[in-house]
Amino acid sequence: MTCAKVSVKATLTTTAGETFVGTNDCDYPQPICPRKPGEGYEKCSTICGQRHHAEVGALLAAGPERAAGGTMHVDYHYACEPCQAACAAFGIKEIITS
């Protein structure tokens, strides 16, 4: 089930041409997003049961060795600071948003 606010898909393309996809699916999606303007992402996990953001899902699917040097494409969203940091830790060379 997807997030009430926005459905995000992140596709990691490795240097070998493999692709790994992550989404921001929730175990307990709400009909209306419980986050108020300016709030962080805590309610995404505590209320909606979101395990991770789409970018992190793609990184975990690939693993650090395959992810290193790859490119992350994020559909319909921007990469938040924690996701940018996770991409950097996995050695992602570029994040492209659309």
Q: Which pLDDT does position 28 carry in this prediction?
A: 93
Task: Check residue 40 and give its pLDDT.
Answer: 87
User: Which of these CATH numbers, 3.90.730.10, 3.40.140.10, 3.40.50.300, 3.30.200.20, describes 9-97?
Assistant: 3.40.140.10
| Predicted confidence pLDDT, tens digits, the chain (98 residues) | 678 888 899 999 999 999 999 999 899 999 999 999 999 889 999 999 999 999 999 999 999 999 999 999 999 878 999 999 999 999 999 999 98
Q: What is the pLDDT of residue 94?
A: 98
Could you tell me if 92 and 12 are in contact, meaning their C-beta atoms sit under 8 angstroms apart?
yes
> Nearest CA to 59 among 5, 8, 3, 10?
10
pTM value is 0.88
pLDDT score for 3? 81
Give residue 50's pLDDT: 93
Q: For position 45, what pLDDT does the model report? A: 92
- CA pair distance 8, 39, nearest whole angstrom: 18
Domain locations in the chain? 9-97
CB-CB contact of 27 with 87 (8 Å): no
CB 21 within 8 A of CB 58: yes
